[in-house]
Structure 1
Amino acid sequence: MPVDYSLYLVTDRGILKGRSLFAAVEEAIRGGVSLLQLREKNVCSRDFYHIALELKELANSCNVPLIINDRLDIALAVDADGLHVGQEDLPLEVARKLLGPDKILGYSVSNTAEAAYGEKNGADYLGAGPVYPTGSKLDTVDPIGVEVIKTIKESVSIPVVAIGGISRSNAAEVKKSGVDGLSVISAILGSPQVEENARCLKNIWRA
């Protein structure tokens, strides 16, 4: 079944300020989130596993694929729909071999050389960025801008999702680059109006 990359939510419990992750994700999906990535950098493996298990159940009930960030073991343990790895994570070709051919595998890139490597070595999609400065500290790469995103998209034949500093004010501009979707954290989870935030971004994408 084709994956809808249009509005890709990456979780960050740190910006929820005590609000429930599961309630926020449910609201985000109601607002139009089409793909979900669980990102947990500061919990033990046991807690990550239980969070992933509960989120997988929620995602399944809403027919939204769940991707696990970085942790192949967690992705396999909860039978997640896929895994996303970055430049400093498990090598892409190793991740593909262990994950199997039927799961979604994403790869973070910031230039065309990394994009070519990703496409060649088993990535199903690329997360390209950061487009703009971001407070989410996904990486330490300088913003690459919309023009580089456009170049990356044109250099590969697999889907490309833009990430990093995307908001209501610049989402339309990012879409013009030809990418297959927008990946966000704070633009959806950064305020209590989660469903409204998601719906607004989805409407910008559809416009």
Structure 2
Amino acid sequence: MSIDIAKFRVLPDAKLDLSLWPTRIDPVYASKADYQSILTDQVAELSALQELHYAASRYSILLIFQAMDAAGKDSTIRHVMSGVNPQGCQVFSFKHPSEAELAHDFLWRTTRDLPERGRIGIFNRSYYEEVLIVRVHPEMLRNQYLPGDVLSSGRLWHERYRSIVEFENHLYRNGTRVVKFFLHLSEEEQRKRFIRRIDEPKKKLETQYGRY
């Protein structure tokens, strides 16, 4: 199976309006059985490449997944990475920050979990929450113990964007390749999935569990 990734890729410095991007594509498989067969083959290929990556131990790979709730971050990570040797692949989920995390700068808690050389690290949510959720809900800043001049400068978000860019450039210069995925979901589909969660016992916990 060959997929043209160009229609999914956002180029550096490109202006992005999510409302103009589709939330679904034409199926790339004929049936559920076909999908499972394709996924199995691709996971096997991914596993083999990861073994080479681990043996070389020169680079590390960081996969970042961001999305609205119910977009499928957990299931995507579980289905795609389930066949990869866990010795060379680790998943970290970042939900509501702890008191210790709030006492440090906003990049601290994710920096601790960066992948070593030869490994694949997966972030289910990331430091991008600090310029997404926190910007939408600025009251969260009250718990971050920031200096008054930082809060009143009017440049808080600009400086955080700058910090993220500089941080990722630093990672690149030191051998970490960062690949970012945003799972795009329509509001209508999100509503349907929330309703299904209420009716499915194994999904109900996800609805009840406190989010960031």
- Judge same fold: TM > 0.5, yes or no: no
Structure showing greater Rg = 2
Tell me the TM-score normalised to structure 1 length. 0.29
Please state which structure has a larger fraction of its residues in strand.
1
TM-score by length of 2: 0.29
